[in-house]
């Protein structure tokens, strides 16, 4: 197997840390159905809610930013999150694409 | 994840090493796995599974465990012959892709640092240049000079080393002549047919950036086939 992409997100995480930001690294660790991004996809979030990278096509990033901010605020080290499609909260956290995925959030410190 | 671990990962990526980041998602611990090196003692009992996943270049949670493996693959070597206008656009399009690019051109005016700052550029004839680059079946060749003196030796090297992608610029007529020369040099028809010529997917454009885009599109598509 060859991989044609090179995620630059970890370089960016490092430069945020060098600039004294608190950084949460978010990684897709499992997917089912038609989730748009592959296992291993990453995004980073800082204490101001700035983010870079992606774990979906924009469907769940907002809720992940909130979870990351909470992780930073409560000084927790890591957290696992499962994201599913559901009609009631489709506007908030649902994957419009109909997929499901597990996300791992961790603080880099 | 510790800052130091992130820095180690970035150094390994910079040195084009192949490794995996292993994380226990229940405890938050992680370590860098490298083939034939000792496994962190907290992960020792998963040693066989980790090696299996790594050898298959597989990412994901190891079945029935809380161990996540994230594999970092070596970039694909792409050798461009011809430091021409199209090459400048190829570099633009390739910068976020996992390619390690080398440019070969024996012509001094073309292969200048000023035209290609911070690039691996080899101002030599292909035969000499390939002595400096280790290539194999996971390498790719983009031949752009359409000058047989320069392109042909590179094409022969790529065919002999079974590059997964070989593309050559030039019209259909140029390509037919090229195929005949390779045939005369003793290459088999199926080898010659593996060359993408005229290079690139059909976009219709004739300008340098459009041709570059069609070449990159073809290269990425071939990357996913093999």
DSSP 3-state of B190: helix
Whether A85 shows a pLDDT value over 80: the answer reads no
Reference A52, options A25, A75, A20; nearest CA is: A25
Tokens of B95: 């910068």
Residues B91-115 have a mean pLDDT of: 93
Tokens of B225: 């086939």
Whether A98 shows a pLDDT value over 80: the answer reads no
Which pTM does this prediction carry? 0.83
Q: Tell me, what's the pLDDT at A100?
A: 84
Tokens of B22: 């292993």
Query: Residue B135 contacts by C-beta under 8 Å, 6 or more apart in sequence?
Result: B77, B79, B157, B158, B161, B163
Residues in chain B closer than 8 A to A3 (CB atoms): 73, 98
Question: A12-22 in b/e burial notation, b at 16+ Cβ within 10 A?
Answer: bbbebbeeebb
Tokens of B105: 């051109």
The answer to whether residue A6 neighbours chain B at the CB level (below 8 Å) is yes
pLDDT: which is higher, B21 or A89: B21
Residue B33 has phi, psi (to 5 degrees) of -95, 135
Whether B76 shows a pLDDT value over 80: the answer reads yes
Shortest distance between the Cα of A17 and any Cα of chain B, in A, equals 8
Confidence of residue A26 (pLDDT cuts 50, 70, 90): very high
Q: CB-based burial of residue B181 (10 Å sphere; 0-12 exposed, 13-18 middle, 19+ buried)?
A: middle
Whether B55 shows a pLDDT value over 80: the answer reads yes
Residues in chain B closer than 8 A to A19 (CB atoms): none
pLDDT: which is higher, B36 or A26: A26
The answer to whether residue B215 neighbours chain A at the CB level (below 8 Å) is no
Structural domains in chain B, sorted by start = 3-72 (no CATH), 76-225 (3.40.50.720)
Residues A11-26 have a mean pLDDT of: 96
Whether A33 shows a pLDDT value over 90: the answer reads no
Residues in chain B closer than 8 A to A104 (CB atoms): 23, 25, 68
Q: Report the mean per-residue pLDDT for chain B.
A: 94
Shortest distance between the Cα of B28 and any Cα of chain A, in A, equals 6
Whether A40 shows a pLDDT value over 80: the answer reads yes
Q: Report the mean per-residue pLDDT for chain A.
A: 84
Cα–Cα dist A34/A38, whole Å: 10
Residues in chain A closer than 8 A to B53 (CB atoms): none
Q: Tell me, what's the pLDDT at A87?
A: 45
Which residue's entry shows tokens 């461009």? Answer: B80
- Lowest-confidence pick of B53-57, B122-126, B162-166: B53-57
């Amino acid at each position: 197997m060859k991989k044609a992409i090179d995620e630059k997100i970890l370089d960016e995480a490092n430069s945020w840390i060098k600039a004294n930001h608190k950084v949460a690294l978010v990684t897709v660790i499992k997917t089912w159905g038609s989730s748009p991004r592959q296992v291993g996809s990453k995004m980073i979030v800082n204490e101001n809610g700035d983010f870079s990278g992606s774990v979906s096509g924009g469907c769940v990033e907002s809720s992940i930013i909130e979870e990351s901010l909470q992780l930073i605020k409560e000084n927790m080290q890591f957290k696992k999150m499962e994201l599913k499609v559901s009609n009631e909260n489709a506007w908030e956290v649902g994957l419009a694409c109909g997929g499901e995925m597990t996300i791992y959030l961790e603080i880099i410190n | 994840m510790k800052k130091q671990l992130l820095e180690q990962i970035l150094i390994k990526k910079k040195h084009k090493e192949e490794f995996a980041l292993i994380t226990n998602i229940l405890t938050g611990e992680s370590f860098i796995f490298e083939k034939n090196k000792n496994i962190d003692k907290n992960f020792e009992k998963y040693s066989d599974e980790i090696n299996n996943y790594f050898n298959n270049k597989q990412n994901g949670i190891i079945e029935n465990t809380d161990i996540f493996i994230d594999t970092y693959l070596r970039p694909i070597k792409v050798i461009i012959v011809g430091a021409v206008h199209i090459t400048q656009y190829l570099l633009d399009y390739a910068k976020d892709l996992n390619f390690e690019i080398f440019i070969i051109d024996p012509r001094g005016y073309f292969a200048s640092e000023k035209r290609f700052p911070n690039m691996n550029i080899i101002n030599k004839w292909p035969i000499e240049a390939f002595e400096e680059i280790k290539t194999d079946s996971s390498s790719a060749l983009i031949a752009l000079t359409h000058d047989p003196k320069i392109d042909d030796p590179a094409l022969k090297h790529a065919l002999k080393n079974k590059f997964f992608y070989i593309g050559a610029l030039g019209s259909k007529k140029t390509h037919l002549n090229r195929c005949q020369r390779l045939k005369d040099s003793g290459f088999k028809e199926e080898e010659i047919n593996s060359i993408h010529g005229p290079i690139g997917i059909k976009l219709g454009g004739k300008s340098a950036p459009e041709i570059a885009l069609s070449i990159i599109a073809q290269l990425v598509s071939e990357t996913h086939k093999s």
